[in-house]
């Protein structure tokens, strides 16, 4: 069974198949604001004696400026390299000694640090995180070593993959003004030029209590967690969150096309259209966003969905296989604007243009003919069946709450979102298929295989 995009999966997880709480019961998720402005979100789950702690900072690649792309991700690495009282590497050693596991990630919209520990060790983990949040410190030599790790990560994930390089170049074409145009890991030239002070300045500017949230899920008592949070995080001095400039993406007024030539075994085509994001409000944009999410599910939300049947299995095309694989995707939520994508790997003997035409034809068919109620319900049932199992993961419970907070949504956003998705009608899906997928706003990317690289190219 195909999985929904990660963010959509997370935001659905808490809302499915959950019984209503008894009258006057404490809410399943409780949110507090510490004295210094930091948010605290607690979700009890007493099925196992474990707790997940996540520290979310509402800063990611979109908050960088040209010339320092990748600094948010570099800072994520350096947060493990010491503080006023912790030596380089000591944070990870202490978490391991507590019987815990830890990691972190950076996205366009946020940076998050997470640990899973025995529930009785939660206070020690919170104290460690509060210390490094408030006083991240390390010698320059640690940065010099770690930035080489970041460079190698970029080489392995992007530069050694023709498809990854295509998507990076394509993304820079799709967005003109939005900071989403820069890669999260950063351009290699920016990583090469990055200095220790660039990272320190980014930490000083954005790691502000009012720009962060602590999320705790597991075998915990909310009031007890609140007391611990005030003793640890609450001691960090309050500071104002820096103002953010809008950097609004201009309306696209004509089609754009990118051909990326590289040594590759197969071609790849990707189409993208600008689309609204879900804000949680009951407005036209959010209603369209929900319908677009359902449309993506109809196209590629389960095994044997429309793109697989039409392009991969050849149903409806005279038995001809158009693609070895085909998919669609839609971000739904984010701090910035979103896009709807469709992609395919053309089958042997099929041109990229034919694959692109087939992708567009499936969307156009829905715009003309709509979708059946049976098809619509299958998509919604698939969501329910796949996402209910995530309730067994305490980590997923914490991660979805952090995602809500980053996007300015309430703790019950999952219930609201699922109710909205269940209410989407076949007519709404047909309508958005007809309105958003015009050539005027189309972005096309093609990976063109070459037998060998041209001089000066990978």
Could you tell me if residue 115 is left (phi over 0), alpha (psi between -120 and 50 degrees) or otherwise beta?
Answer: beta
Q: How far is CA 246 from the centre of its chain?
A: 20
Place of tokens 């989403």: 180
Cα–Cα distance measured from residue 215 to residue 114, given in angstroms and rounded to the nearest whole number? 9
DSSP class of residue 287?
H
> Could you say which of 76, 115, 146, 308 is catalytic?
76
Let me know the angle formed at the C-alpha of 250 by 245 and 251, rounded to the nearest 5 degrees.
145
- Is the distance from CB of 219 to CB of 48 less than 8 angstroms? yes
Active site residue 76: yes
Side-chain half-sphere exposure of 400, counting CA atoms within 13 A: 24
Judged on CB neighbours under 10 Å (0-12, 13-18, 19+), 237 is exposed
* Whole-number Cα distances in Å, 70 to 32, 39, 128, 286, 409: 32, 26, 25, 31, 27
Task: Write out the two tokens for 26.
Answer: 């404490």
Active site residues: 76
């Amino acid at each position: 069974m195909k999985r929904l995009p990660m963010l959509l999966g997370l935001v659905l997880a808490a809302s499915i198949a959950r019984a209503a709480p008894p009258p006057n019961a404490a809410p399943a998720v409780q949110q507090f604001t510490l004295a210094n402005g930091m948010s605290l979100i607690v979700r009890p789950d007493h099925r196992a004696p474990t707790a997940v702690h996540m520290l979310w900072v509402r800063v990611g690649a979109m908050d960088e400026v040209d010339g320092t792309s990748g600094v948010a991700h570099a800072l994520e690495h350096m947060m493990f390299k010491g503080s006023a009282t912790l030596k380089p590497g000591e944070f990870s050693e202490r978490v391991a000694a507590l019987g815990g596991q830890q990691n972190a990630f950076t996205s366009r919209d946020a940076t998050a640090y997470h640990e899973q520990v025995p529930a009785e060790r939660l206070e020690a983990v919170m104290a460690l995180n509060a210390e490094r949040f408030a006083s991240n410190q390390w010698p320059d030599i640690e940065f010099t070593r770690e930035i080489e790790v970041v460079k190698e990560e970029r080489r392995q994930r992007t530069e050694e993959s023709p498809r990854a390089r295509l998507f990076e170049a394509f993304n820079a074409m799709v967005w003109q003004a939005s900071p989403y145009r820069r890669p999260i890991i950063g351009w290699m030239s920016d990583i090469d030029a990055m200095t220790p002070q660039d990272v320190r300045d980014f930490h000083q500017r954005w790691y502000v209590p009012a720009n962060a949230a602590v999320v705790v899920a597991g075998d915990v008592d909310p009031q007890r967690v609140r007391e611990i949070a005030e003793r640890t995080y609450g001691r960090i001095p309050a500071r104002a969150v820096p103002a953010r400039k809008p950097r609004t993406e201009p309306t696209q007024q004509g089609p754009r096309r990118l051909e990326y030539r590289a040594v590759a075994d197969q071609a790849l085509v990707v189409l993208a259209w600008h689309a609204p994001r879900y804000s949680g409000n009951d407005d036209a944009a959010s209603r369209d966003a929900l319908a677009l999410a359902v449309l993506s599910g109809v196209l590629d939300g389960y095994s044997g969905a429309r793109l697989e049947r039409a392009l991969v299995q050849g149903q409806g095309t005279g038995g001809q296989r158009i693609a070895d694989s085909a998919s669609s995707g839609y971000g739904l939520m984010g701090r910035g604007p979103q896009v709807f994508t469709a992609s395919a790997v053309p089958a042997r003997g099929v041109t990229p243009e034919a694959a692109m035409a087939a992708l567009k034809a499936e969307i156009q068919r829905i715009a003309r003919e709509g979708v059946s109620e049976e098809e619509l319900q299958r998509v919604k049932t698939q969501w329910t069946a796949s996402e209910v199992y995530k309730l067994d993961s305490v980590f997923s419970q914490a991660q979805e709450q952090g995602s809500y907070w980053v996007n300015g949504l309430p703790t019950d956003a999952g219930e609201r979102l699922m109710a909205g998705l269940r209410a989407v009608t076949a007519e709404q899906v047909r309508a958005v298929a007809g309105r958003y997928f015009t050539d005027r706003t189309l972005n096309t990317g093609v990976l063109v295989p070459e037998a060998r690289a041209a001089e000066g190219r990978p």
